[in-house]
Amino acid sequence: MAYAHPGQSDSLVRFAERYENFIGGKWVPPVHGEYLDDVSPVDGRPFTRVPRSSEADVDLAVTAAHDALPAWSATSPAERARVLLRIADRLEADLERLAVAESWENGKPVREALAADLPLAVDHFRYFASAVRTQEGSISPIERDLVAYHFREPLGVVAQIIPWNFPLLMTAWKLAPALAAGNCVVLKPAEQTPASVLLFVELVADLLPDGVVNVVNGYGPEAGKALARNPGVAKIAFTGETSTGQLIMQYAAENVLPVTLELGGKSPNIFLPDVLAADDEFAAKAVEGFVMFALNQGEVCTCPSRALVHESIWDEFLDRAVARTEELVLGDPLDPATQVGAQASDEQLRKILSYLALGREEGAEVLVGGGQRGVPGLAGGYYVEPTIFTGTNRMRIFQEEIFGPVVSVARFSDVDEAVRIANDTRYGLGAGVWTRDGGTAHRVARAVEAGRVWVNCYHAYPAHAAFGGYKRSGFGREGHVSTLAHYQQTKSVVVSY
Ligand code: NAD
């Protein structure tokens, strides 16, 4: 049975008609009084409104964060850990409602939000609550009467700008390490998915001192740009498109700020010849790994959007992959049976359809899918069939991020060729390799230029594994204890005695 849609009397979620910015612990209307519509991709209709913020709103938020900074940065790691653990508990207790809200706003299948996005967000807060308590400084004896010791201090007020594909998980990835390290935050959600983030903030607001977390809504080139350029900000952590990341670096240069950039990808998923020769359970697992291209409708930065399949298994493997893709259940995201939901926005839908046309123009062959799909009762929604193209790696559909449920498949004849094709991209975010041969798996994992390589699995995001890009996929890492250092600066004190 599908969850009732927000707006229906028995829905778990009640969105307000309008939200405000969250500044200094209060809900604050935008200075210029302007709002923008938040549209559900499930049916294409607006369901709430959020502030269209300007520089004046960003200034208020940065000031509120500075007001909160002295007290928050002086708390002990243990105190901050306690707050993070309480946030995690709150999230966990309200997981189902938040999953329904996120599914409605983003279009992702509620089963994924329930099984992955929300539990991972909860765990991220718990992980950094633990990680910050393990951090220790160091003491360097220099000479008999000279010693240096080191502190890790928070950076100050950090700007965090996130995309629309995982609104709650990206919020957790950003907030947890920044808060654990003692920073105050001004967060700007994507204009397509602000309400999930605002529900989260509403839920945990009383657990945080006023001003420690502030949320300013609005468009990227307005509120986002004003935030990234604000002179009161000490760091920018950004997740989004590579082209926006380039702008963020320019803004950061104005105030000499450190940046973390988690950008786009065109991740290769490599299937070696023994995938089908091994036991059938392994082959089935590899086919499941292939169809991960449709997870979250392909709107994942690490979407395995290029599959490289060995020529000796080409026909049989692709027959199985096509059959499995045809079985994927596309429909109402709020139905727990649905495996492929709606694309996040009308703009994204049109972008994906233009790439489906481009692939055909480039001479790629469509093995399955290839078009828009109507869902009964949800005529205004944005649904695209999971699509498999075959072609060659220099085609634009192999080189450009489509960010839809589309995989472009090329063949290779030996491992070196697979690695060469895998690395023939400007991106370097994720990669997968499937084989029972451990030595080959490790060699390929070392040779592929990507910040995250999965061996015989895909799309696993444990909080304690560092995540981030090589090449144009960005720099800096999230997850893993080392991320704390991205939100800290080191002070050395040299003492003569
Ligand atoms: P986007 O770059 O359009 O927007 C991301 C955020 O930046 C939004 O909040 C947006 O409002 C803001 N923004 C846009 N222009 C801005 C500007 N000039 N100044 C400041 N802020 C600005 O990206 P998107 O379309 O929301 O998200 C999809 C992209 O995100 C894809 O490229 C995807 O690969 C990437 N992504 C990367 C990761 C990762 O961890 N590497 C994770 C998720 C998504």
Q: What is the DSSP string of 22-51?
A: EETTEEE--TT--EEEEEETTTTEEEEEEE
Query: CB–CB of 65/184 below 8 Å?
Result: yes
316 part of the active site = no
Is the CB–ligand 1 distance for residue 305 below 6 Å?
A: no
Ligand 1, residue 474: give the atom nearest the CA: 41
| CATH number for the domain formed by residue range(s) 21-263+473-491 | 3.40.605.10
Ligand 1 geometric centre to CA of 153 (Å): 28
Judge whether residue 323 has pLDDT over 80.
yes
The ipTM estimated for the assembled molecules is 0.94
User: Residues 6 or more apart from 192 whose CB is under 8 A from it?
Assistant: 38, 39, 105, 106, 164, 344, 345
Compute the distance between CA of residue 311 and CA of residue 255 in angstroms, rounded to an integer. 52
Q: How far apart are CA 117 and CA 284, in angstroms?
A: 24
Cβ atoms < 10 Å from Cβ of 76: 11
Shortest-distance atom of ligand 1 to CA 166: 43
> Which amino acid does the sequence have at 478?
E
Would you say residue 315 has pLDDT above 90? yes
* Catalytic residue of the set 105, 191, 262, 401: 262
Mean pLDDT computed over 346-361 = 98
Q: Is 224 in the pocket of ligand 1 (CB under 6 A)?
A: yes
Q: Where are the beta strands (DSSP E) in 315-405?
A: 365-368, 387-390
Kindly state if the Cβ of 461 falls inside 6 Å of ligand 1: no
The topology under which CATH files domain 268-455 is: Aldehyde Dehydrogenase; Chain A, domain 2 (3.40.309)
Which residue, judged by its Cα, is nearest atom 1 of ligand 1?
240
pLDDT tens-digit map of 131-158 = 999 998 889 999 999 999 998 999 999 9
Task: Name beta bridge partners: 50.
Answer: 36
β-bridge mates for residue 366, sequence order: 389
Tell me, in angstroms, the distance from the centre of ligand 1 to residue 234's CA.
20
Pocket flag, ligand 1, residue 233 (CB < 6 Å): no
Q: How many CB atoms lie within 10 A of CB 281?
A: 8
CA of 329 to the centre of ligand 1 (A): 28
H or E segment at 251? helix 242-254
Say how far apart CA 185 and CA 158 lie, in whole Å.
5
- Angstrom distance (rounded) from CA 285 to CA 289: 6
Residue 222 beta carbon below 6 angstroms from any ligand 1 atom: no
Which pLDDT score, from 0 to 100, does residue 57 have?
98
Say yes or no: CB of residue 221 within 6 Å of ligand 1. yes
Question: To the nearest whole number, what is the mean pLDDT of the chain?
Answer: 97
**What's the rounded mean pLDDT across residues 65-88?**
98
Termini Cα distance of the chain:
73
Tens-place pLDDT, residues 434-476: 999 999 999 999 999 999 999 999 999 999 999 999 999 999 9
What angle is formed at CA 211 by the lines to CA 253 and CA 126, rounded to 5 degrees? 90
| Sole residue written with tokens 């040299």 | 494
Answer whether residue 278 shows pLDDT above 90. no
C-alpha to C-alpha distance for 384 and 350, rounded to whole angstroms: 10
Residue 68's alpha-carbon distances to 72, 194, 202, 211, 212, in angstroms, are: 6, 23, 18, 5, 6
pLDDT in tens, 193-207: 999 999 999 999 999
Least confident window among 9-13, 142-146, 430-434: 142-146
Share of the chain above pLDDT 70, in %: 100
List beta partners, residue 187: 160, 215
Protein residue with least CA distance to atom 41, ligand 1: 262
The rounded distance, in Å, linking the Cα atoms of 75 and 73 is: 6
DSSP letter for 220, please.
Answer: I
Phi/psi for 263 (5° steps) reads -115, -155
H or E element at residue 471 = strand 470-471
For the segment 315-337, the average pLDDT, to the nearest whole number, is 98
Helices marked H in 278-345: 280-290, 314-327
Ligand 1 centroid to Cα of residue 348, in Å, is 13
Compute, in degrees rounded to 10, the torsion defined by CA atoms 126, 128, 129, 130.
90
Ligand 1, closest atom to CA 301?
A: 34
pTM for the predicted model, two decimal places = 0.97
Distance 164 CA to ligand 1 centre (A): 8
- Is 343:387 a contact under the CB 8 Å cutoff? no
What residue spans of 38-192 are helical by DSSP H?
55-73, 77-93, 95-106, 110-112, 118-134, 167-180
Element (H, E) at 194: helix 194-204
Q: What is the pLDDT of residue 312?
A: 98
3-state secondary structure of 68: helix
Whose tokens are 């599959």? That residue is 307
387, 370 Cβ separation under 8 angstroms:
yes
Query: Cα separation of 391 and 496, whole Å?
Result: 68
Q: Which sequence spans correspond to the domains of the chain?
A: 21-263+473-491, 268-455
Q: Give residue 288 CA to ligand 1 midpoint distance, Å.
A: 28
